[in-house]
Structure 1
C-alpha cells in the first residue's frame, strides 16, 4: 500500500505497475481487536485496493499468487493465468502454523489471514446469542496478537451475551515484544477483566470439546481461536528463492532476495538475515518507503539504499474497555485511557493515508 501511494504521488515514466491481491478490500490488522470490541465498524479497517491502484495507474488483478518462476520471470495465479515481470515485489504475509496443534484445522479458528477470520467471527457472535450458544472461549497464543484478541473477545461477547462468557488465554511462552513492566500491567488487566490465563502451557490438541495441554490437562471450550507462530505461505514453496531456516524469504538490507536482484520482499513473509525481527506490522510499515525508493532505483539502474530496522518499537494493547497498555524497550510501560486515545489516533492516521 505504501509503495502504491509513493508511485501515485510521483509516477515513474515507462513503468507498468500490476498489483495482485486476493481481495479488493484488505483489512488492517492493527484495528482488528478494536473492531471486534465494538469500537470500529467493519468498513473502518478495510483499505480499497482498487481505488488505491487506480490512483497510481496500476492494474489490479484480483487473484491469488500461488507460485513464482524466477527463471521465466513469471507469477502463476490460482485462476490459471500468469503474469510476466521485470521486477517483482512480494509481500504476501504469513499463514498460521498449526502443525503442532492436532485438530486445529478442523476445530479451531485461525486468526490469520484476517480476511478469512472475519466471517467466522461474525458466525461465532451470532451463535453466542443462542440460548445454547458458545460460552467458553479459549485463545491459544500468548503473543501480542493473542493478548489483544483475549481482551477484544471478552469485551465484545460479554457486552452482547452477558457475564456467562468465559475467556481463557493459553500461552506456551511470554511475548518477546513485551518488557517485564508492561507484562505485569497486562497480567493485572487480564485478571481485572476476568480472563483466565494458563501461562507456560503448550496446547497440543483441539477437539470439539476443548483443548489438551502438553501435560495432559484438559481445558473445556466451545470455541477455540488460534494465534500462534507464523508459517510461510504455500506460494513460497519450490520457488527457488533464498530462504531462512524457517523457509521465509531471505532478504538483505536493500530488501532484495539474496539470490535474485530482480525480486524484493517485505513484511512478514520475509526475514532480514542480518537483522531478524519479530513478525510485526510495524516493521512492514517502516520498510514501505524504503521499498518504494529501491523499486524506483532498480527501475532506473541506480544504486539501492540500505535499511536497518529499529531494535525497539512501541507496543500498544487495547484492553477492550476504552483503555490501553503500552510499552517500549526494556523499561517503559504505561496504561490508561490516554494510551487508548494514542493508539486510536495512530491507527486512524494510518488509515486516512489510504482513504
Structure 2
C-alpha cells in the first residue's frame, strides 16, 4: 500500500481537533505527507459548553476552538470551505465553489445534523439554531417549545430557562418518557411538559436526535439507519481501506455507541494513532470504546446532575462546579503555549514581505529607474494599455484562497489607475514535494486566480511554473509563491498618484489593519472572528468601484492603492514633488478592521512596520493630523496592507456623492501650504 499522497481531514469535529492538538504538541508524530483540514468555518464549538452558551453563562469565544490557529501550530493547511460530496472511487472530496480535492487518505469527522421534521428549528447545525435563539425575545408572550426530551432536549430547555427567567417554556416528550424525578425538576423550573400529540404553532427547537450529513447518503459508503458511516474497530470505513471516520458522523459496527461528544473526544487518540500508522504503512490498532459514558447535565440553577446509564446523582452544586472545571480544562488544552520571551519573531507574509522603501528606492536610483512611482505603467505606443506586476509569498495555507488574494492584490494596481483588467499571466513557484502534491497545489492556486479574473470578464492567458530549490515549509502550501502580470485598458486618461490638488477630499474604500492582524495570528494573539472579518473584506473584489465612480470620474484627480508601505507611505508618494500641498488627516475617521487597534496597543506589529515608520517624518511636515495621535493610530498609519483599500483624491462635490452611496469614507483633505 502506498504511503505517499495528501491526507485530508474533512470536518473540524472534536476527534480531529484532538488529532491536531497532538501533532501541535508532538510534531514528530505528524505524518510526513501534506495534510489539509477542511471545515466550513474557522472555529468549532465545543459541544459540552453549548448549553452554557445558550444559558448566557459563556461567551462564544470561550467555547470556540480556533481551527486555523490549531492547524498553524500542527503544520497542517487549513481550508475554510463547505464539503458537498465525496467520490471514494476516485479519492475525491467535492467542495462548494472550488475545485475538488484529491487525496490518498481521508478522515471524516463532519458531525451530524438534526433529523428532518415538519416543525421546529433543528438544533444542529448549531450556527442556525444559535442565530434563531438570538433573534428570540425574552418578552415574547408565545411559549417556546423544545421538541425531544432526551438528554440534549432536557439540557437545552433548562439552559433556556436560565436565559429567559420569565418566558413560557415547554418540553415535548414521548408519552411517559420522563420519570417523576425529572418532571419535578422541570416543574420547579416552571417548564411545562407536553406530549407528542399536543398541537403547537409557536416557535420551537428540534432536539429529537441526529443523523449524518445528507451528502453522505450519495457517497456510496456503508451507513447505519441514521446515515452514520460504519467503521471497523480501527475507525477505518468498512470496505474502504484509505478512509477513516469518527465522531457523530460515524459508528463502529461491532461496538455501536450513540452520537455523543464523549465518544468523539475518546476517539481522538486512537484515530491519530491509526492515521499515523496508515500513512507509514504500519499495522492499525483496534479500539474498544467504553460501554457507558458519564453525562454531566446542567440545570437551570448553579447545579447539575450526573448520569451513568440508568444511574443518576444530583442535581448538586458540586457536580456543577465539576462540570465547569472539566469543560474549562478541555478548552484550555487548545490554547497556544506562551511564546518564549527571547524567541525571534516570524517574518510576516503577504505584502508585508515587500522590500522596505529605503533600500528599494536607493537601488532604483543607482540603476537609473527612480522618479515618480505609479501603480501601473502605460505601454509605449498605446497609451490606453496599462500593465502591472505584483505577488508575494503565500499569505495563508489555503492555496485557492491565496491565489484569489494574490490576484485581487495585483489587480488593485490597475483599478487604482481607473483601468479595467483584461488579462493576466502568472509565474507560480511550487515547493519541492511529490509531483501529485504539486499538481494539487497548482490546480487550487490557478482556480483561485481565475475566480478573480472571471468576475471581471478577464482571462488567464499564460505563465510559467517553477520548483523552489529551498526545503519545503510545513505545511508545504506556504511554499507557494505567485507573481501575476496584469494587463488592462482605459479609454480615458488614467488616474495618477501625482494628480493631487488643493481642495481635494481624500476617500478610502475599506479598513486598514491586515498587517497587524496576520502578524498577531502567527503568535495566536488575533481573535478568530477578527481574522475572519478581515479575510471576508480582503476577498471582496474592488473592481465594481470603477463603475460606481464613473459618473464623477472627471472630478477624480489622483488615486493609489494602499499596500506594503501603509497609508502614510503611499500618501507620501502622492505628495512627492508637491511642495505646495498640505494634507489634513482626520485620525478618528480612518477605519480599522476589528481587533487591529487592540493588537497595536498590546505591542503587536508587522515585521515590515519598523522600516515603514520612517514615513512618520511626513507628520512633521506636509501631513497634519487633526487630533493628537494615539500610539495605536500611529502604527495603523504605517501598517502594511495586503488587498488594501483604494485611496482617492477628488473634488468635494464628488466626495459628497461617493460617501453617500458607497463604501467610501472621507479621511482628510488637501490644501495649499501656507507661507
Instruction: Identify the TM-score tier after normalising by the shorter chain.
Output: 0.7 to 0.9
Partner of 1:136: 143
Match of 1:192 in 2: 188
Q: Deviations over 1:272-322 (max 9, x none)?
A: 111111111101110111000000000111111111111111111111211
Compute the displacement of 1:70 (Å). Answer: 1.1
SS in 1 for 2:258: coil
- Find the aligned partners of 1:145 and 1:265 in 2 and give their Cα distance: 23
* Structure 2 match to 1:157: 164
Write the distance in 1 (CA, Å) between the matches of 2:221 and 2:292. 29
Partner of 2:322: 342
Residue 245 of structure 1 pairs with residue 247 of structure 2:
no
* Alpha-carbon spacing, 1:331–1:237, altered in 2? closer, same or farther (3 Å): closer
Give structure 1 regions of 4+ aligned residues with deviation exceeding 6 angstroms: none
Greater Cα shift, 325-334 or 134-143: 325-334
Secondary structure, counterpart of 1:122 in structure 2: helix
Determine whether 1:121 maps to 2:121. no
**1:48 partnered with 2:66:** yes
Aligned equivalent of 2:24: 8
Q: 1:174 to 1:256 in 2, by over 3 A?
A: farther
- The 1:261/1:193 distance shift into structure 2, 3 A limit, reads same
Structure 2 match to 1:319: 299
1:178-210 Cα shifts (integer Å, max 9, x gaps): xx9xx5543321111111112xx33xxxxxxxx
TM-score by length of 1: 0.85
Question: Could you say what secondary structure the match of 2:34 adopts?
Answer: coil
Q: Is the 8 A contact 2:230 2:251 kept in 1?
A: yes
Distance 1:290 1:349 in 2: 21
Give yes or no for contact 1:142–1:173 (8 Å, CA) kept in 2: no
Asked if 2 retains the 8 angstrom alpha-carbon contact of 1:322 and 1:340, the reply is: yes
Question: SS at the partner of 1:237?
Answer: helix
SS at 2:271's partner residue?
A: helix
Q: Is 1:87 matched up with 2:105?
A: yes
Equivalent residue for 1:231?
A: 211
2:265 is aligned, of 285, 298, 301, to 285
Deviates more, 1:222-231 or 1:48-57: 222-231
Q: What is the deviation of 1:81?
A: 1.6
Tell me if structure 1 keeps the 8 A contact 2:43–2:65. yes
The answer on whether the counterparts of 2:210 and 2:226 sit within 8 Å (CA) in structure 1 is: no
Which residue number in structure 1 is paired with residue 35 of structure 2?
17
Distance 2:31 2:237 in 1: 25
Q: Is the 8 A contact 1:186 1:325 kept in 2?
A: no
The yes-or-no answer on 1:264 pairing with 2:264 is no
Counterpart Cα distance in 2 of 1:70 and 1:110: 29
Supply the distance in 1 between the matched residues of 2:63 and 2:176 (Cα, whole angstroms). 28
Size of the alignment, in residue pairs? Answer: 317
| Distance in 2 between residues matched to 1:173 and 1:298, nearest whole Å | 48
State the distance in 1 between where 2:152 and 2:256 align: 19
The structure where helix makes up a greater share of residues is: 2
What corresponds to 1:78 in structure 2? 96
Checking the alignment, whether the CA contact within 8 Å between 2:31 and 2:276 is kept in structure 1 is no
Deviations 1:322-349 (A, max 9, x none): 1111121333423211110011011111
Using the TM superposition, give the Cα deviation of residue 116 of structure 1 relative to its aligned residue in structure 2, in angstroms: 2.1
The verdict on how the C-alpha distance between 1:354 and 1:169 changes in structure 2, with shifts beyond 3 A counting, is same
TM-score of the aligned structures, taking structure 2 as reference length: 0.45
- Preserved contact between residue 185 and residue 325 of structure 1 (Cα < 8 Å): no
